[in-house]
Amino acid sequence: MFGRLGRFVVHNPWKIIVGWIIAAVALVALGPQLSSVTNDNQSSFLPSKYESVQAKNALDAAFPSATGQVATIVIRPVGDGTLSTAEQQKVSDLATTLTDDHITEVAGVQAGQVAPKQTAQLMFAKLTADEGDQTGSSNAVKALRADLANKLNGTGMKAEVTGDAAMGLDTSDSSNKATSIVMMATLLLIIVLMGFIFRGVIAVLLPILSVFLVMMVSQPVIALMAKGFGLHVQSFLEIMLVVVLFGIGTDYIVFLLFRLRERLRAGDTIEEAVATTVERVGEAIASAAAAVIIAFCALGLATFKAFTSLGPALAIAVAVMLLAGLTLVPALMVKLGTKIFWPGKKWRRIPAAGPARKVGNLVGKRPAAVALVSFVIMAGLAVGAVGFKADYDQQSQLPAGVESTIAINDMQKAGFAQGATSATDVIVSSTDGKPLDHTQVQAYANGLGSASPQLGGLMPFPVKPGSPAGTKGDTVQYNQDGTAAHIQVLTKDSPFASSSMSAVNGPLKDLAHSSAPAGTKALVGGGTAALADIQSANNSDLALILPVAGLLIFLVLALQLRALVAPLYLMVAVGLGYTGTLGASVLMFQNIQNKPGMMFMLPVMVYLFVVAIGTDYNILMISRLREEAREGNAPRQAAALAVEHAGPSVASAGLILAGTFASLMLGGLSMMQQIGFAVSFGISIAAFIMSMFLVPAFTALMGAKAWWPGHKGVASHSGGTGRPRISDLDDEMVGAGSHR
């Protein structure tokens, strides 16, 4: 199949190139933008079986005017000081004025309570945009911030807007800045590394131009998928696409260029070299991409909808990149010819042996020692994974200098409970249709506010516009017919902190359910309750996704290798890489940097990029091991030759991919820093420990048994001449992938 594909590409290069350009331009011009389907509201990703979702639905039904989002506004003096009575009256008047301004996407503004220390006062802006409308809520916050700055200019007071909508905007803005930084760092890294490896200007530009074209095609396709299936993806997907496509895309192009260079050195014409390259490398690349795509698609089994959209979205991008790697890139190679390595001359010569031969000799001569040392290193790192703690604090992921974070810090200094930015909702509904007893509900509400030491009492509802300064709002709000009540409970710590989640999901829920007045039903919702439900969904998703994905990847390996034994220990190596990566991340962030925990999505990110993509290197190495064994080489000699010939391309690709993910650490977002470190570390150990040492050494020890039951023609003896070494290694570390 890949031989026919290679011949088709060689005979139709211009048709393929023009076809890709037309597809890219048409999709960009006519297709939806990826930003139109992004949504960073995590609670919207939960299915309806969770209580927080049921509570939101009950709130929307009983209090239609309460639907939509609320932005919290902190008004405080410029510099230090307290708010005078006159200034507090100005705040109340300001709320009325802002409402009358009919700000974009803002239904109205109400004055809230004054801080215990009198250093700040809250206002609450009701937004018309639904929680899933990222664009509408962002526009509302932007307009609100601009109007506040204009009206408070010269008054001695200033305003800061926070809350879920504001944090969503700040997250999106920070992500956009991070994307630009990551893009520049990634491009610089690829230029330097590809230039060092191939010494050619075109070889440097080829992955950059190819990946840009793939991004133009894949982003509208992902947006169409999201719209068609009603999915929303988080804004950091755009950063992930940059890193994944440049990382994987450059990897595939590296493998193709290594084989192309080898065939040109052997005397093939450019057409013959490209056709052979697609035929020989195509199967390994397709198998590697299939493992990645299957692993990504396994996220579709998740109940947390952020995973169900993220996985297929990245799978689409990888599939498009694979198609480009097997058609567009070879077509460009045909038209560029040997100019692809210009101005370098070294591609014409077979250089002397380099470090890869020494590594191969070490693996071949001492496989038991190499396997043992590699296993001990991986197992030692894996031990650290036991200490992994998930962190769901959205605020801690933002840079310290953004407005929503500053506002929360100012609230805390003023004496407000941090939970005021996202209060926990308790919805009490009559089960018999009768109006609620206000006395019973008020007593019930008062008890909820002290259900746990981690709770900070009840949050009064905003006072009506025009009320005198200092007027206190009610702590219970009733619907029009009095059959439902809304209570807002505050957490002392950040509403996203683990302590708050434990208090809401434990004592508060227990008390809310058990002490609800007779004839009523209570539901607990809000941001903190949603995070607790997300935690539950995340744990169950990992328990399902990891084994299913492992089984599917095992099947891909078994089909590609026509064996059962080798895929088994490859999966063990993958498992060690996964836990070792988490262990190293725990050591770096929880132990060294004293973080309270790791981003809760990190295990999924490591699964996506270390397990799935890291398997590529194992596939490429084990494929070369099988090839050398079928040539009649003894197991140890086959391992030595495989490392010598496939090792440089694996090392080069691993270095590039690890470097692209490491660029995430420059983006300024804590979430990106953790992902960047974890994935770059995981890719490094997958390429340089598992693929270069552990897998070939263990395969040498297993001998022909590794290829059971499809080991026909595989040498099982300890000696044997095999075939002579043919080194295609550059002095600087790099060289050819497979030969022939």
- pTM for the whole structure: 0.74
Place of tokens 């048409």: 26
Q: Which helix (H) or strand (E) holds 242?
A: helix 237-265
Domain assignment of residue 634, yes or no: yes
- 197-207 pLDDT, tens digit each: 777 788 888 88
Mean pLDDT for 247-270 is: 83
- 355-380 pLDDT, tens digit each: 888 888 899 899 999 999 999 998 99
Q: What is the pLDDT of residue 507?
A: 92
- 643-694 pLDDT, tens digit each: 888 888 788 878 888 887 888 787 667 777 888 899 889 989 988 898 889 9
Number of domains in the chain: 1
Mean pLDDT for 487-494 is: 88
Domain assignment of residue 83, yes or no: no
Q: What is the pLDDT of residue 727?
A: 37
- The stretches of 266-366 forming alpha helices (DSSP H) are 270-297, 305-326, 328-336, 355-365
- 107-126 pLDDT, tens digit each: 888 888 888 888 889 888 88
Is residue 481 pLDDT above 70, yes or no? yes
Q: What is the pLDDT of residue 467?
A: 59
Min mean pLDDT across 37-51, 350-364, 372-386 is at 37-51
Q: Is the peptide bond before 696 cis (omega within 30 degrees of 0)?
A: no
Domain assignment of residue 335, yes or no: no
| CB atoms inside a 10 Å sphere around CB 737 | 29
CA–CA distance, 678 with 296 (Å, rounded to integer):
18
Domain assignment of residue 696, yes or no: yes
Domain assignment of residue 598, yes or no: yes
Strands 424-430 and 484-491: antiparallel
Q: 637: domain CATH number? A: 1.20.1640.10
Going by the DSSP 8-state scheme, the letter that residue 226 receives in this structure is: H
User: How many CA atoms does the CB half-sphere of 63 hold within 13 Å?
Assistant: 20
Burial class (CB in 10 A: 0-12, 13-18, 19+), 11: exposed
CA–CA distance, 672 with 29 (Å, rounded to integer):
31
| Closest C-alpha among 185, 238, 170, 167 to residue 667 | 185
Q: What is the pLDDT of residue 738?
A: 36
CA–CA distance, 298 with 544 (Å, rounded to integer):
9
Q: Which of 23-27, 130-134, 279-283 reaches the highest mean pLDDT?
A: 23-27
Mean of the per-residue pLDDT values of the chain: 82
* Residue 247 vs residues 20, 186, 220, 281, 314: alpha-carbon distances, Å: 20, 9, 20, 18, 13
Q: Which of 424-428, 496-500, 713-717 reaches the highest mean pLDDT?
A: 424-428
CA–CA distance, 62 with 144 (Å, rounded to integer):
28
What tokens appear for 545 in the block? 């996704």
Quick one: how far is CA 593 from the chain centroid? 21
Q: Helix, strand, or coil here: 110?
A: strand
Q: Helix, strand, or coil here: 720?
A: coil
Task: Please say whether the dihedral angle defined by the alpha carbons of residues 485, 486, 491 and 497, taken in this order, is positive or negative.
Answer: positive
| CB atoms inside a 10 Å sphere around CB 212 | 14
What tokens appear for 645 in the block? 């010939």
> 566 or 183: whose pLDDT is higher?
566
- 142-163 pLDDT, tens digit each: 989 999 999 998 888 999 998 8
> 575 or 463: whose pLDDT is higher?
575
| CB atoms inside a 10 Å sphere around CB 100 | 11
- 504-514 pLDDT, tens digit each: 999 999 999 99
Q: What is the pLDDT of residue 466?
A: 57
- 720-735 pLDDT, tens digit each: 444 444 333 333 333 3
CA–CA distance, 508 with 322 (Å, rounded to integer):
51
* Residue 78 vs residues 81, 120, 154, 408, 568: alpha-carbon distances, Å: 8, 11, 10, 16, 65
Q: What is the pLDDT of residue 241?
A: 81
Q: Helix, strand, or coil here: 654?
A: helix
Confidence of residue 42 (pLDDT cuts 50, 70, 90): low
CA–CA distance, 151 with 253 (Å, rounded to integer):
56
Please list, residue by residue across 689-721, b when 16 or more beta carbons sit within 10 angstroms of its beta carbon and e when fewer do. Answer: bbbbbbbbbbbbbbbbebbeeebeebbeeeebe
Confidence of residue 465 (pLDDT cuts 50, 70, 90): low
* Residue at 209: amino acid letter: L
Place of tokens 């998703």: 541
* Residue at 286: amino acid letter: A
What tokens appear for 637 in the block? 């000699």
CA–CA distance, 527 with 358 (Å, rounded to integer):
57
Q: What is the pLDDT of residue 351?
A: 55
Q: Helix, strand, or coil here: 424?
A: strand
Domain assignment of residue 244, yes or no: no
Min mean pLDDT across 98-102, 129-133, 141-145 is at 129-133
With pLDDT > 90 as the criterion, what percentage of the chain qualifies? 14
- Owning domain of residue 692: 352-386+549-711
Q: What is the pLDDT of residue 172?
A: 74
Going by the DSSP 8-state scheme, the letter that residue 163 receives in this structure is: S
Burial class (CB in 10 A: 0-12, 13-18, 19+), 153: exposed
Is residue 501 pLDDT above 60, yes or no? yes
| Closest C-alpha among 81, 80, 71 to residue 147 | 71
Q: In the beta sheet, which residues pair with residue 72? A: 124, 162
User: How many CA atoms does the CB half-sphere of 62 hold within 13 Å?
Assistant: 26
With pLDDT > 70 as the criterion, what percentage of the chain qualifies? 88
Please answer whether residues 20 and 213 qualify as being in contact, where contact means their C-beta atoms are separated by less than 8 angstroms: yes
Domain assignment of residue 414, yes or no: no
Spatial neighbors of 15 by CB under 8 A, at least 6 apart, are none
Quick one: how far is CA 23 from the chain centroid? 27
CA–CA distance, 658 with 247 (Å, rounded to integer):
8
CA–CA distance, 348 with 712 (Å, rounded to integer):
36
Q: Helix, strand, or coil here: 75?
A: strand
Q: What is the pLDDT of residue 726?
A: 37
Please answer whether residues 315 and 231 qualify as being in contact, where contact means their C-beta atoms are separated by less than 8 angstroms: no
Mean pLDDT for 27-42 is: 71
